[in-house]
Each structure stands twice: as C-alpha cells, then as structure tokens.
Amino acid sequence: MDRLLEYLHRHPFLASLAVAMALAVVFFELRTRRLAYAAVRPQEAIQLMNQGAQLYDLREADAFAAGHVNGAKRLDPAQHAQAVEQLKRFKDRLLILYCDDGGRSTALTRQLHAAGFTKVFSLRGGLATWRAEGLPLARG
C-alpha cells in the first residue's frame, strides 16, 4: 500500500489519467444499461411484429415521411407526455417503440412500464440500427 501511495505522489498525471479512464468506463456502462432497458434488436422486433406487435415511431412528421418501419404508426413528440392515456387500450398488447437513436423510445418505454404496461419494448439503437442492418423502410 505504501508503494501505491508513493507512486500516486510521484506520478499525479498518470494517476489522474487512470481515474478519468475508470470514470469514462463507468459512464459508458451506465449509459449502455440505460439504453438497453427492455430493448430488442431489429431481428427480434421483426419476430414480435410477426406475432402482432404494433410499432410506434416517436420522431417528427418530416422524419417519419422520409422513412419509417413498414406498418408503424406515428406518435407525435408533443404527445409523449400523454402516451399512457393514449395507449392504455393497448396495455396488454405487444408494443415496440422507436426513435432515431433509442434514447426517447427507452425513456417512454420506462414510463409505460411504470404505468403497468407489460409488453412494451424499445428498438435497441433506434432506426439507425434498423438502417445499419439494411432492413427496408416505407416512405410517405
């Protein structure tokens, strides 16, 4: 222990760098876990869609028109606060939410889970991951 304290005293820059890197790793892990809450990969989403899952696109109208997952309905960002009320009739149905990168959909998924929705999921990585896997988009 004495040698560690001596090292830290003699090399403050390296010690600070090690602490900063450890904090960066912790931050990255926490962010990854936050975004992975009740998330499904695109292939899993397709399987859920084949089982009757309803998709909701949480993006703006112009982004939705530029390209969205086939069969998705748009939930306007201004309506996210009232989403629990709007979707309560689908409380026991499979729902998949997505946005551009998965941030908004994860937050809304948490909100719906807290309201008692049991089968709501977020598309991991959002539409960016869908596009990266070369999956088709509907236009208009």
> Which residues belong to the active site?
99
**Exposure string for 110-131, b = 16+ CB within 10 A, e = fewer:** eebeeeebebbbbbbbbbebbe
Q: What are phi and psi of 78, to 5 degrees?
A: -70, -20
Output the CA torsion 87→91→96→97 (10° steps).
40
